[in-house]
Amino acid sequence: MDHSSCVAVAKYTDQGERTRADTTDTALPKLPDEVLLMIMAVSSPATIAALMRTCRTLYDSSLGPRILLRDGASLSTDGQLVSFSEFMTASRTLRFHYLRSLTLSRGGFSLEALTALSQLLVHPLLKIDSLVLHDAESILTSGSQGEWAEMDAGLLLLNALQNVSTLKHLSIDDVDERALALLRKQSSALVSASLMLNAPGSQWHNLGHYDADNLNPIVLLANSADSLEVLDGSGFDLNPENVMYDVVYPRVRRICASYWSQSMPGTAPYVHSYPNLEHLALMRSPPPASGHSMHAANAAANAGVVPANHILQTRYTNRQDQINFGSWQRLCIVEGTVQDVYVLGLVCHVPHLRLFGGFTEEELADVLQDVKPGTLALTVAGGQWFEEDGAASLVLARPEAQCLHSLELEICIVPQERPEDLQQLLAHLNRVLAHMPSLRAFSLTLNHALITHPGQWQRKRDSPGPGPSDEYRCPMMAYLRAFDAEMHASLFKAHVPTLEDVTVKVSAEETWADNLMPSQFQLSMRGSSLEQGDSDGEGSATEEEEIVTELAELGFGTLVDDEDGW
């Protein structure tokens, strides 16, 4: 192995020179290769890199790269791009065979970094099947400004990405003109795609070039029509004038996406383009908060409440289009808020219906009448929905609910509720189930995530004040910790003899909680990935130094450390 190869493999950096002891000439490893490989198999990438820098065998063979690249590579800086390119091409071993996924982020890359990345992407041995582009437009417009503007190296990168033909999975966000070009012209037969199309502050949109079909996955992924199976994303849109599109995706089985345009949802176009769909979650969400285009601003102005007449008109149009042009025949699972499913206006049977959030009695009744599910999973916040005049209680006693054979309730307890409220809830549920003679299975989950998530709630109760435990500050927690789930399951089964399977449990899992409550009760974000990444990086550097030192003492050699690489 020559010196430059040693350098790239050892440190994964863009530095030109390295000094390193020749471990094979000065000392033999005292640990068997099998032991070293076992350590590497359970280590972090930084630790693996440190181990590789202590043993020439790991450099020259495929052992180190195979383990190091098993989880792919994530690159976000000029140094990382250049370093990684050098690492991949530094050895005669076929490292490209072990690289299956690549993540790029941030953008604003230099000409040197863009050139290195483009050369890497067009390498004949590259066989990646998964590509993630964070800040895609920033990446693809790198080099289009400043001293290299005339060369526009970002176009070289765009062409290189378009010609990668081995991809099966693509995830992309911050979509604008160049990212759209990538989606429309990519040459891979994708199996799954995740498209975050709600790019805030989109420059192309700001110039007045808004076209709904630029946010339409039916149009954007046409080159993968014969292979696509799973579609996820946000910010989806379509042209309201089009009832059908020419392209059909016969293999798509699952769609989980959100939209904020009032042109959505268009049920008939989705039925036609995804005829064999089995799992649908198509939900409305607010538009990007930082959007600056006129279109985004207009949408944001109407984001709070969708006019009732618009909801009714969209539902009516969707139902009529399905009656005229057909609906799904294989749809097994539909999920979303009650209003999300209501506006779809489905006219097909759906065995499993998963709903969350608030609703009116008529909305829920109409949805049940639309799809006649055998199983209903319903998640709500607060027990008021099951009071005697609560919307859920009223609907479950109606004829529309008698199609149900299985009912799965998740009730998220809110901070205002007391133990006596929960006791009343259980009594109300017994009365509700008595009106459902066709029911055979019942599941109840009491979720207390909204009152136990750290630092989220100021409990304004008449308790003496903050105490040493959750039980002292929140009587509901003391009640839940003593709650006998098995006993209550037996009581439900005894009260409703037709029930064959009853499950009751207490949980703190954060399921749909952030969709159920007004803003003051939503769970906060857990912290940005950037912050976590920075923290992890520091820890990894310390760990790396310790490992290099310790293994040098064991006879694996020494080297001079330098800046971190990729």
pLDDT at residue 459 is higher than 50: no
3-state secondary structure 202-250: CHHHHCCCCCHHHHCHHHHCHHHCCCCCEEEEECCCCCCCCCCCCCCCC
* Residue 210: predicted pLDDT: 66
Higher pLDDT, 453 or 354: 354
The residue written with tokens 């919307």 in the block is: 391
- Non-local (6+) Cβ contacts of 357 within 8 A are 337, 338, 339, 379, 380, 512, 515, 516
Q: Is residue 450 part of a domain?
A: no
Structure tokens at 432: 């509700």
* Of the candidates 319, 323, 418, 380, the residue with the CA atom closest to the CA atom of residue 512: 380
Q: Are 72 and 130 in contact (CB under 8 A)?
A: yes
Q: Which segment of 26-40, 288-302, 322-336, 513-527 scores lowest on mean pLDDT?
A: 513-527
Q: What is the C-alpha separation between 380 and 144, in angstroms, rounded?
A: 49
**CA-based nearest residue to 401, from 426, 437, 357, 355:** 437
Residue 32 in domain: yes
Read off the pLDDT of each residue in 469-473 and give the average, rounded to a whole number. 47
Domain membership of residue 64 as a residue range? 7-68+543-556
Given this model, what pLDDT does residue 217 score? 95
Looking at the domain assignment, is residue 61 inside a domain? yes
Q: What is the CA radius of gyration of the chain?
A: 29
Would 353 be classed as within a structural domain?
Answer: no
- 363-399: b (≥16 Cβ within 10 Å) or e: bbbbbbebbebbbbbbbbbbbbbbbeebbbbbbbeee
- What is the DSSP code (8-state) at residue 498? T
Indicate the burial class of 94 (C-beta count within 10 angstroms; 0-12, 13-18, 19 or more): exposed
Question: What is the arithmetic mean of pLDDT over 466-488?
Answer: 72
Do 234 and 203 contact (CB within 8 A), yes or no? no
Please state, rounded to an integer, the average pLDDT across all residues of the chain: 77
Name the domain count of the chain: 1
| pLDDT exceeds 60 at position 560 | no
For 10-40, what is each residue's pLDDT tens digit? 344 333 334 333 444 455 546 666 777 777 7
pLDDT of 461 over the 50 cut = no
Considering the domain boundaries, does residue 57 fall inside one?
A: yes
Global confidence as pTM = 0.78
Nearest of 203, 116, 213, 127 to residue 156 by alpha carbon: 116
Quick one: average pLDDT of 330-338?
96
pLDDT for res 121? 93
Count CB neighbours of 465 within 10 A.
7
pLDDT surpassing 50 at residue 86: yes
> Does residue 60 sit within a domain?
yes
Q: For the segment 312-321, what is each residue's pLDDT rounded down to a tens digit?
A: 999 999 999 9
210 occurs within a structural domain: no
Encoded amino acid at 505, one letter:
K
Q: How confident is the model at residue 390 (pLDDT cuts 50, 70, 90)?
A: very high
How would residue 194 be classed by pLDDT, with cut points 50, 70 and 90?
very high
pLDDT one-digit tens code per residue, 113-163: 999 999 999 999 999 999 999 999 889 988 765 554 445 666 888 999 999
Share of the chain above pLDDT 70, in %: 67
Residue 53 belongs to a domain? yes
Question: How is residue 292 written in tokens?
Answer: 């600056």
Residue 255 has pLDDT above 90, yes or no: yes
Q: What is the pLDDT of residues 48-76, one digit of tens each?
A: 666 676 666 666 667 777 777 888 889 99
